[in-house]
Structure 1
Amino acid sequence: MAQVLEFKLPDLGEGLTEAEIVRWLVQVGDVVAVDQPVVEVETAKAMVDVPCPYAGVVTARFGEEGTELPVGAPLITVAVGAPVSGGETEGSGNVLVGYGTSEAPARRRRVRPAQPSANGTAAVHEAPEVPQTPEVPEGPVPVISPLVRRLARENGLDLRELTGSGPEGLILRADVEYALRAAAARGRTAAPAAPAPAVPVTTGEIRTPLKGIRGAVADKLSRSRREIPDATCWVDADATELMRARGAMNAAGGPKISLLALLARICTAALARFPELNSSVDMEAKEVVQYDHVHLGFAAQTERGLVVPVVRDAHARDAESLTAEFARLTESARTGALTPAELTGGTFTLNNYGVFGVDGSTPIINHPEAAMLGVGRIVPKPWVHEGELAVRQVVQLSLTFDHRVCDGGTAGGFLRYVADCVEQPAVLLRTL
C-alpha cells in the first residue's frame, strides 16, 4: 500500500526564509525519481531548482506560479511504495538546494487519479501505454538559463515546440527570440502566460513589486542606511601607467588580464596594510570583527537587478585567477545561475561604476561590510605630469566606509595607497 509523504520547501541556506514559485516542473499524477527537480523557485539570492528526496507519484501540489512560500511550507505530496517500475521508494535525504544527483531525470509518466477501492481506500494505477500515439516530450526542457525559460513563459511560448541550436539541442536565448519574432511576423504573437511584473494602474502609475532579488536589495540598502554611519572620501588618480602595464601583460601572451582583476589585486594589497576596513560590526556583542581573509564582492548589473557576487579568498589569487573568477561569476550573474553561497559572505566590495560612463559616486555600503571602493570611468584629461601639463588617463576613486571601524586617517591612508598603486603599479611588487 502506498504511503503519502509530504515534501516541504527546504532550508535554502544563507538565512533565506522564503521563495517564489517560478515554474512547476511536475504535475499531479507524474512519476518522479529520487532527487528529480520538481519546481523552479526564485529566492532573494538566485534562481534554483528544488529536487524532491522521494520517488513515487505526485498526488498534490501547493501554490500557483508566482506564489511566495515560506521555508517549511508544503510543496508537493508523493505516494511512495506504489508499484512504480524502476523507481526508488526511499528518500535520498538531499533536501537542500544544490544537492542530489547530477543525472537528468527520467521522462515523466502520467498515472490516472486515485480511484476508491472496495474498502474505501484510494489506490493509484498507472495509465496504460498507447504505442500508436506519438509522444510529446514532457518534463523540463534543456534551456541554457532560467532567464530564457522566463522569457518564453512571459510570451506564452511553449519551449517544447522549439529546436535548440545549442549543444545537444540546448535552447538558447537566440532561439526563443527568433521564435518570438517569427510569431510576430505572422501576426499571432502569443498572449503572456503570466501577469507582467509591472502593472499600470488607472492613474498612469506603474507599480513594480519589491520582491525576489529587487526586494532583497531594497531591504539590504535600507538596513545599511539605517545602521551604518558612513562617510566618503575620494581622489583623482593618473591611471596611465596602470593601463600601460595591463597592455604589456596582455601583449606577452597567455590569458588576458582584466582591469577589474588589477584593481582587485590593488584592493587586497591595500587591505593587508589597512585591515580595519576588512571587517564588520557585531552590534549585539558591541565588537568590531576583523577578518584574516578577503572575500571580495563586486557589483554586477543584471536583467533581474543589482547583484554582488563574491570572489572567495581574493587575497590569495593572482591577476590571472582573479580575471577567470570574475568572468565566471559575471556569466553566472547574467544567466541567473548564481548560488546563494556565491552571493554572500563578502568582507569588502569593489564597485566599478565607470562602466556606466560616470566619473564618481557615493555608494551605499554592502551591509554588513565596512567599506566599498568605487572606481569611475578612465578618461583622458589634462594633468600635470613631471612638472608639465599633459593629457593623461585619469580616474576618480572613492571610498565609502563605516566610521565606527576607523577614522578618516585610516580611510584616507587606504585610498591614498590605492591611488599610488594605480599611478605606479610597481608599488605592488612589494606585496607579491
Structure 2
Amino acid sequence: MTTVDGTRVFLLPDLGEGLTEAEIVEWRVAVGDNVTVDQSVVEVETAKAVVDVPCPYAGRVVALHGVAGETRPVGQPLITIAPADGGDESAGQATYREQERAGSGNILIGYGTGHGAAGRRRRRPRLAVAPEPPATPGSSPPYTATPMPVPTPVPGSAVPGSASASGGGVALVISPIVRRLAREHGVDPATLRGTGPGGVVRRADVEAALATPAPRLAPVPEGTEPTATGGAANSAGDGNLVIPLTGVRKAIADKLSRSRREIPEVTIWVDADATALVETRRAINAATPDTPVSLLALLARICLSGLRRFPQLNARVDTEGQRIVQSRGVHLGIAAQTDRGLLVPVLRDAQSLTTRELAAALAETTAAARAGTLPPARLTGGTFTLNNYGVFGVDGSTPIINHPEAALLGVGRIVDKPWVVDGQLAVRKVTQLSLTFDHRVCDGGVAGGFLRHVADCVEQPALLVANV
C-alpha cells in the first residue's frame, strides 16, 4: 500500500494454512532505521510456529504498528516505510525500484524471497510504539507512533532506570515467550544477568537459571498479584498454577479435540521381534559410517512399504463431500516432542526418497522442529503419521489420530524379552507396534493386514527388498 506522501505500508501477510493472526514476539528494527528489500523486520508467533517476517520495501522506518506481545490480524498494517532520503518522493521511489530489483519483492505466505538473511541485524533494546488508537469512520490510518520505553519489566522487576525493591537489577525482557517461560518456572528475571544486546534477558538466560540449583520465585498462583519484591499475594487462596492455552498449545488442543470428536478410531497392536532390524541397521552403518541410518528411518521405510500395499490408510475423510480421498503421494508426518509442545513435521512425497535420504530428512526436520524454525507449511498436510513414543521409555499407547489423517503407527521401546525362536526360548529385542485407524476408511482386514506387514518387515527386513 503506497500513500500520497510516498510512504509504503506493509500489511501483515497471509501466513498460510488458514492462519488469521500472529503475535508480535520481537521487532528487529526501530523507528528511524533504514531497511532493505526482504530484510527481516519482526519475529511473530502463530498457532503453528515462530517465524521471521521480511519486508518487501526499502527505505526508512517511520512507524511500527503494534508492540511485543500484541496480536495482529492478517491484512492489518505492520510497518510503515518512507523513502530513504526522507523527503524526495521521486528519489525515494527510485530507491525502492533499485533495491526491489535486487530481490523479488514478493511475499509468499509471509516468508519473503530468501534474500533477507544477510540483512538481518541484532540491535540493542529499542523504543516500542504505543498501541494505535482505534480508527474513526473517515479518518486516515495513523502512520506515526509515539515512542515509549521498552522492554517492559515483568512482574517482580523494577521500572527501567531504577533499582528493584528487592535490591536486584532491572529485568529487560522483550520476548513474550521468555516472559512466559520465566513465569511458568518461577524465575524472577530481575535476578538474571541478560546476555542479549543491551542486557536483554533471553530464553537461554532463563534456561541457564533453571539448570543452576538456586532459590527461585515460586510460580504465580491463580488470582494473584505480583508484589514489589516479585512475590505473589494469593487472593484466591487455592495455589493453582494457571497456564494460558495459547499459540501452539492451543492449536494442538483444538486439533486433538476435533480428532476425538469426529473420528471413530480403533487401535490394534502386536509384539514384534526387532532383533533382525537392529542388526540390519548396525550392518548398514558399519558399511557406511559417514551416512548413518536411524531405526526411525528404517521404520519409516517399512511404513511406506505397507502403505504401498494398503493405500486405503493413506487417506482422509471429506465429511462435507461425503467421500474418502486417497492421497497419491505419502506425506509422512513424524511426531516430535519440542519445548513448544508436540509437533508433527511432514516429509512430503516420502515414497520418492531412498532410505538414506529418509534418514537425512528426518534428522534435519526434527532438529528444525525442536529449534522452532520450521515454517507453518511444513507442519501440515500429512497423510500418515509415524509416532516413536518408545523414546519416552514406554511400551505401548493408544494415540489420537492426527486429524484429518486416517491412521497412525506407534512404536514402543525396544527391550530384551524372552521370545520363542524355533521352539526354543531365547532373549530377543522386542517392540510393540500399534496402529490407530479411522474405521470409516477401512475395516479390520485392511488395518490388520497393514500392521501384520509392518511387523513381518520388522522381524525380517529382507522382505522390504521385494517391495522396493
- TM-score, scaled relative to structure 1: 0.80
- In structure 2, how many angstroms separate the alpha carbons of the residues matched to 1:54 and 1:214? 34
- In structure 2, how many angstroms separate the alpha carbons of the residues matched to 1:321 and 1:152? 39
Q: Secondary structure at the match of 1:89?
A: helix
Does residue 94 of structure 1 match 2:107?
yes
Partners of 2:397 and 2:410 within 8 A in 1? yes
Partners of 1:52 and 1:95 within 8 A in 2? no
Amino acid paired to 2:41 = V
What is the CA distance between 1:239 and its match in structure 2?
A: 0.8
Q: Indicate the structure whose relative CO is greater, using CA pairs within 8 Å and at least 6 residues apart.
A: 1
What is the CA distance between 1:2 and its match in structure 2?
A: 3.9
Partners of 2:256 and 2:400 within 8 A in 1? yes
Q: Secondary structure at the match of 1:235?
A: strand
What is the CA distance between 1:252 and its match in structure 2?
A: 1.4
What is the CA distance between 1:3 and its match in structure 2?
A: 2.4
Partners of 1:266 and 1:428 within 8 A in 2? yes
What is the CA distance between 1:219 and its match in structure 2?
A: 0.9
What is the CA distance between 1:182 and its match in structure 2?
A: 13
Q: 34, 37, 43: which one pairs with 2:46?
A: 43
Does residue 266 of structure 1 match 2:266?
no
> What does 1:395-410 align with in structure 2 at a 5 Å threshold?
395-410=431-446
What is the CA distance between 1:58 and its match in structure 2?
A: 2.3
For residues 29-80 of structure 1, the C-alpha deviation after alignment (integer angstroms, 9 at most, x for no partner) is: 3222222211100112211111112223322222221122221122122223
Corresponding residue of 2:249: 214
Q: 414, 419, 423: which one pairs with 2:450?
A: 414
Partners of 2:408 and 2:437 within 8 A in 1? yes
Corresponding residue of 1:253: 288
Q: 320, 333, 339: which one pairs with 1:284?
A: 320
> What does 1:67-146 align with in structure 2 at a 5 Å threshold?
67-80=70-83, 82-83=86-87, 88-90=95-97, 92-94=105-107, 96-100=109-113, 101-102=115-116, 103-105=118-120
- In structure 2, how many angstroms separate the alpha carbons of the residues matched to 1:64 and 1:430? 59
- In structure 2, how many angstroms separate the alpha carbons of the residues matched to 1:214 and 1:14? 17
Partners of 2:276 and 2:460 within 8 A in 1? yes
Corresponding residue of 1:60: 63
> What does 1:153-172 align with in structure 2 at a 5 Å threshold?
155=189, 157=194, 159-160=196-197
- In structure 2, how many angstroms separate the alpha carbons of the residues matched to 1:14 and 1:40? 18
Q: 318, 326, 344: which one pairs with 1:308?
A: 344
Corresponding residue of 2:272: 237
Change (3 A) 1:256 1:148: farther
What is the CA distance between 1:205 and its match in structure 2?
A: 1.2
What is the CA distance between 1:176 and its match in structure 2?
A: 8.3
For residues 202-236 of structure 1, the C-alpha deviation after alignment (integer angstroms, 9 at most, x for no partner) is: 32111211111111111110111111111111111
For residues 312-341 of structure 1, the C-alpha deviation after alignment (integer angstroms, 9 at most, x for no partner) is: 221121221111011101110121101112
Partners of 2:63 and 2:79 within 8 A in 1? yes
Amino acid paired to 2:261 = R
- In structure 2, how many angstroms separate the alpha carbons of the residues matched to 1:17 and 1:346? 21
Partners of 1:43 and 1:212 within 8 A in 2? yes
- In structure 1, how many angstroms separate the alpha carbons of the residues matched to 2:55 and 2:359? 36
Change (3 A) 1:184 1:2: farther
Partners of 1:147 and 1:335 within 8 A in 2? no
Does residue 365 of structure 1 match 2:404?
no
Change (3 A) 1:11 1:93: same
Q: 3, 6, 14: which one pairs with 2:6?
A: 3
Q: 211, 224, 239: which one pairs with 2:259?
A: 224
Unaligned 5+ residue runs, structure 2? 130-142, 145-175, 224-235
Larger deviation, residues 281-290 vs 96-105:
96-105
- In structure 2, how many angstroms separate the alpha carbons of the residues matched to 1:420 and 1:304? 36
Amino acid paired to 2:430 = V
Change (3 A) 1:95 1:374: closer
Larger deviation, residues 295-304 vs 63-72:
63-72
Partners of 1:365 and 1:371 within 8 A in 2? yes
Sequence identity (%): 60
Larger deviation, residues 68-77 vs 79-88:
79-88
Q: Secondary structure at the match of 2:95?
A: coil
Q: Secondary structure at the match of 2:366?
A: helix
Change (3 A) 1:365 1:390: same
Q: 10, 14, 19: which one pairs with 1:16?
A: 19
- In structure 2, how many angstroms separate the alpha carbons of the residues matched to 1:95 and 1:89? 19
- In structure 1, how many angstroms separate the alpha carbons of the residues matched to 2:58 and 2:387? 46
Q: Secondary structure at the match of 2:351?
A: helix
Unaligned 5+ residue runs, structure 1? 114-122, 125-145, 163-171
For residues 158-214 of structure 1, the C-alpha deviation after alignment (integer angstroms, 9 at most, x for no partner) is: 51258xxxxxxxxx9878867x699999x9x9x9xxxx9x76443211121111111
For residues 4-31 of structure 1, the C-alpha deviation after alignment (integer angstroms, 9 at most, x for no partner) is: 3322110011221111111111222322
Partners of 1:152 and 1:158 within 8 A in 2? no
Aligned CA-pair RMSD: 3.6
Larger deviation, residues 330-339 vs 361-370:
330-339
Change (3 A) 1:147 1:83: same
Amino acid paired to 1:365 = I
Change (3 A) 1:423 1:148: farther
Change (3 A) 1:431 1:221: same
Change (3 A) 1:324 1:36: same
